[in-house]
């Protein structure tokens, strides 16, 4: 996700609300600096399950249409500012 954010292709980031401070500090400043919307709503277990993994701290979406769809279903109620 960090590579895509640096390249400017990341449209949306979904970050688990229970991610460690260390992980947050590595990714959140970059996302904010690049102006990428951040959604925080799921636990790492829930986000991982949605992706077919055990746990996932963060998920990056590069497809603009998918990013619009995720926003449209109301997941941005936990948006990080």
Q: pLDDT tens digit string along 40-63?
A: 888 999 999 988 998 999 999 999
Other Cβ atoms within 10 Å of 76 Cβ, number:
17
Query: Is residue 15 within 8 Å of 24, Cβ to Cβ?
Result: yes
Domains in the chain, CATH or no CATH each: 2-78 (3.30.1330.30)
Could you read off the pLDDT of 16-26 as tens digits, one per residue? 999 999 989 99
Q: Where are the alpha helices (DSSP H) in the chain?
A: 2-7, 21-33, 44-51, 64-72
> What is the model's pTM?
0.83
């Amino acid at each position: 996700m960090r590579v895509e954010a640096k390249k400017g292709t990341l449209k949306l980031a979904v970050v688990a609300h229970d991610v460690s401070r260390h992980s947050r500090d590595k990714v959140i400043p970059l996302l904010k600096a690049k102006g990428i919307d951040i959604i925080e709503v799921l636990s790492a277990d829930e986000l991982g399950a949605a992706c077919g993994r055990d746990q996932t701290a963060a998920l990056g979406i590069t497809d603009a249409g998918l990013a619009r769809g995720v926003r449209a279903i109301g997941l941005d109620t936990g948006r990080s500012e």
